[in-house]
Structure 1
Amino acid sequence: MKRLLYILFVLLLAACSSVDCPVNSIVETIYNVYDSEGNELALSDTLTVTSVRMDGQDTTLLNKLVDKETFNLPISYSHAEDMLMFHFDNGNNNLHVTDTVWIKKDDYPHFESVDCNAIFFHTLTGIRYTRNYIDSIVIKNPSVTYDYQTVHFYFYPKGSL
């Protein structure tokens, strides 16, 4: 009888400890870079992306990316609009160009389990930007979750510095 109670207790514990928290729970946006013909393009100039936090301090989100066709950027949990500074640099002739990108979005909480971290998903509702280096940015998929394969933005630079 004791053995049966022990087996039932172990089975009960095993059944209660099954939590379906996602392994990859990072919520970020994915950008693909294209040329004017619609072909994937590796950035030839160095890209650094910064953002201004609530306390007024800059924070670096992406540091010195070069020769890549895709990049990921985190998204805020509590702002209706994110403001990002895209800094482009050509090391050969020391040219520096900065564009500002504003991303409007709606935030909504996503609940998996009480044992999992709190997560917010987002719906992209608009984008605007300056046009110093950037030709255009197009919203491809407005739903931002922790799906790390869905491209959210098509990024079209004007060209090299």
Structure 2
Amino acid sequence: MLNKITKTIAVMAVAMSAACSSIDCPLNNRTYMSMKLTGNEAVLEDTLTIAIQRSADNTEEDTVLINRQTGLDSLSVPMSYARTEDVYYLMLAEKGTGKKTIDTVWISKQNEQHFESIDCAPAVFHTIEGVRFTQHAIEDIKINNNKVTYNDPKAHLLIYIKNSDN
């Protein structure tokens, strides 16, 4: 009888261990849009500050995402979960003169809920549909990879900055 109970417990233990699975949830499931500087200004000598509009009706103050960085060739910024358009403010301060230029970038996108596992935190992926921007310091922006997930090796946007001489 004891032998039968031992075998039953052993079979149940094997069945339970086979039913369990190892879930590899991503450590950081926040999606960031990456931008790469391209063209004549592939490394930014000027000082860059990026802020994002927190509320669509401008009732909340803007949030600074990147503050006074220099020597950048690429950067990553978070995207909102629910809005269909994110607004970013890029402020450049020229290295020699300190002259400040502000450009506004509007990113229109579709938000897609991403389900990994019930044990993992929820994630939202995005599909970039279009980009509008002012052209004070920015010459052009091109969409390089329109799918934004939390595992993107390729830059999403290519940003062309005007020459400081212009």
Q: Compute the TM-score of the two structures, normalised by the length of structure 1.
A: 0.87
> How many residues were matched structurally?
158
1:101 is matched with which residue?
105
- Equivalent in the alignment of 2:121: 117
Query: SS in structure 2 opposite 1:49?
Result: strand
Alignment partner of 1:87 is 2:98? no
Shift of 1:45: 0.5
Q: CA RMSD in A?
A: 2.1
CA 1:93 to 1:2, structure 2 compared with 1: closer, same or farther past 3 Å?
A: same
Give the unaligned 5+ runs of structure 2: none
Q: Which residue of 1 aligns with 2:145?
A: 141
Contact 2:45 2:95 in 1 (8 A): no
Offset of residue 105 of structure 1: 0.2
Report the counterpart of residue 71 of structure 1 in structure 2: 75
Shift of 1:5: 1.9
**Residue 11 and residue 42 in structure 1: after superposition, are their counterparts in 2 closer, same or farther (change >3 A)?**
farther
**CA offset at residue 104 of structure 1?**
0.2
Q: C-alpha distance in 1, partners of 2:53/2:140?
A: 22
Contact 1:31 1:152 (8 Å CA) reproduced: yes
Tell me the amino acid that sits aligned with residue 42 of structure 2.
L
Give the match for residue 19 of structure 1: 23
Contact 2:33–2:156 (8 Å) recurs in 1:
yes
- The percentage of counterpart residues that share the same residue type is 35
Q: Which runs of 5+ in 1 are unaligned?
A: none
What letter is aligned with 2:54? Answer: R
Is 2:52 the partner of 1:51? yes
Deviations 1:124-155 (A, max 9, x none): 00000000000011001111111141210011
Does structure 2 conserve the Cα–Cα contact (< 8 Å) formed by 1:20 and 1:112?
no
Classify the secondary structure of the residue corresponding to 1:159: coil
Describe the SS at the equivalent of 1:9. helix
Larger Rg: 2
CA distance in 2, matches of 1:155, 1:129: 11
Q: CA deviation at 1:20?
A: 3.0
Q: Which TM-score applies when normalising by structure 2?
A: 0.85
Are the equivalent residues in 2 in contact too, given 1:104–1:127 (CA < 8 A)?
A: yes
Could you tell me which of 139, 157, 162 is aligned with 1:153?
A: 157
Q: Does structure 2 retain, via aligned residues, the 8 Å contact 1:44–1:160?
A: no
User: Higher mean Cα deviation, 63-72 or 14-23?
Assistant: 14-23
Indicate if the aligned counterparts of 1:137 and 1:155 stay in contact, CA closer than 8 A.
yes
